Structures are given as structure tokens and as C-alpha cells.
Amino acid sequence: MSPSTPDALVRGYLRRLRAELAPLPADRRQEVLDQIAEHIAVRRAEPDGQSLAEVRAMLDRLGDPATLGADARERFGVPPRRRGPLETLVLLCCGLGPFLVLVPAVALPFGPVRPWHVVPVAVAALLWLSRFWPVRDKLAATAMLLGCAAVFVLLDLAGFRDTGLGSLALLLVALFVPFGAATCYLAIRTSRLGGAAAPAGLGTR
């Protein structure tokens, strides 16, 4: 849901910026936040900085929080975020999620409790173990993965039974939506965060 007031828009912007600045030492992080907050306050005090549209345009000119965070990390000599083996595993599991669901769906008999329901939860758990993505990215991707629950509910209401080839094909297609959305989102965020693979032998910072 989009912010409905200028104050809410600014709070959301500063919250995202704080998340991007998380790798910085506390004093440096607060220094950057204070500078940006002061700049925003000065601009909002001007006649053309009052309405929601004007504040949104001003924040757009100020720059994306991810870009500002990357610039600040470079300025203060904080090493860029690097994608490690765990992050690669998360991206692979998201991309292959529908197929990972099919393995237990084929191997285990149909019943009131479907063990393959845990696949999206397991992928989300791996995501939260990572220190690479900010919390807001983890929340967004987790919400997309939990969209699998909606898929399961809809299929149950439709009388789905995971025993035939046609049913499994339907499950595969339906799960491409939440898993695909999470994969695309995390891949884009990884690129924007400067997620080059870590050198061999190094994990995620």
C-alpha cells in the first residue's frame, strides 16, 4: 500500500535508507541519516515541498535508498555486500522451487498432511539465515513465498489431488507465480546491492 501522506512517505524513505546503511558503523550511519533528514526537512519547508506529489518528486531526485547506501559504504570504506554460497543456494531454491515441491509430491502418498507444504517455508528459512539482504527484502520475498499457501488453499478448494500427472502439472504451473516472483525480486535486489559472488573460500560478510 502506497503512503497516503507526505510524512508517511518520508518515514518510509528514511526507514529504507536506514536498512541500506546497516553495514556502516553506528556513528557513520547516524551521520548520513541526519544529513539526509535535514536536507528533506529544508526542502519540505519550501513552498513547493508540501504536497504528497511534491515530496515524492523531491525524494526521487534525492535518489534511491539503495544507491545512497552503496555510495555511503564506498565513501566510508565499508566493503560492498558480497553474495556467498548461502545466497546462491537461496536463489537456486527459489528458481527451482516448483520442481522441489514435486519431488515429495511424487514420492509421498496423498494425505491430510502434505509434507511438501514445507518447501516454501524451508526456502524462506534459508533466506532469513542470510546476512546479505536487508530485512525489508527478506520480508518482501517471504511474503511472495507464502503466496504458495494461497495456491495450496485454492487447489484444495478445487478438489486437487496430487496423484496424477495432470494434477502435478497444474501444481507446477501454479507454483511458478510465487516462486518466480521471489526469484526475480531477489535477483534484482542482489544486482542493486552489488552482489558479486564472494571470492572462493569467503562467506557472506
Q: Which residue has the cell 509434507?
A: 115
- Are residue 146 and residue 115 in the same domain, yes or no? yes
Cα–Cα–Cα angle for 113, 117, 122, rounded to 5 degrees: 135
Residues of the chain with pLDDT under 70: 1-3, 80-81, 104-116, 155-156, 158-167, 194-205
Asked whether residue 1 is domain-assigned, the answer is no
Final residue in a domain of this structure, among 75, 103, 119: 75
Residue with cell 534511491: 64
**By residue range, what is the domain housing residue 119?**
82-197
- Are both 122 and 35 inside the same structural domain? no
pLDDT at 181: 93
pLDDT score at 13: 93
pTM for this prediction: 0.59
Count of domains in the chain? 2
Distance of CA 47 to the CA centre of its chain: 36
Same domain, 95 and 18: no
Both 41 and 108 in one domain: the answer is: no
pLDDT 10s digits, 75-118: 888 876 677 899 999 999 999 988 887 776 666 555 554 656 78
Asked if 89 and 177 sit in the same domain, the reply is: yes
